[in-house]
Amino acid sequence: MDGSCLSGVLKIAFAFGVLGIPFTPRNMGMAIFIAVLSGVALSGIPMGICR
């Protein structure tokens, strides 16, 4: 789960940079929250939805 959360935060930070949105502490908190939420969802479904 650690790698997926880090990857999620980096993807969000990259998208913010491309779109020109400032990466403020509030946005960073939202990015971390979304990354942890997606990491938990991915670790809960190890084989994916289509099995």
Residues 3-43: pLDDT tens digits?
778 888 888 889 999 999 998 999 899 988 988 888 887 77
CA count, 13 A, side-chain hemisphere, 21: 13
CA nearest neighbour of 4 among 44, 42, 46, 50:
42
pLDDT of residue 18: 96
Q: Would you state the pLDDT for residue 46? A: 63
CA–CA dist 8, 36 (Å, integer): 8
Q: What is the pLDDT of residue 45?
A: 67
pLDDT at 19 (0 to 100): 94
CA–CA gap between residue 17 and residue 45 (Å, rounded): 30
Q: CA 22 to CA 42: how far, in whole Å?
A: 28
> Which two structure tokens, joined as six digits, stand for 14?
């990259």
